[in-house]
Amino acid sequence: MRFVTTYEFKPFLTKEETEQVLAIFAVVGNAPGVTDHLVFTDGSGGVVFGESDDIPALYANVLA
């Protein structure tokens, strides 16, 4: 199954809160099967493309 996930950083978060979110992502890492991770040029978010049949792992990654 192919998937596309978009995300954005909330503009009301402080710099410290944004750093906490990124620290969690560093621990969790990418979802299984990620092929591309594109970041918006303004740094407000990004798009992740991938292909995987491991639905529980994809769901756990999105929740994190």
The pLDDT of 30-53, averaged and rounded, is 90
Dihedral class, residue 14 (left if φ above 0, else alpha if ψ from -120 to 50, else beta): beta
What's the pLDDT at 58?
A: 82
CA distance 17 to 19: 5
pTM of the model: 0.73
Q: What is the pLDDT of residue 11?
A: 87
Round the average pLDDT of the chain to a whole number and report it. Answer: 88
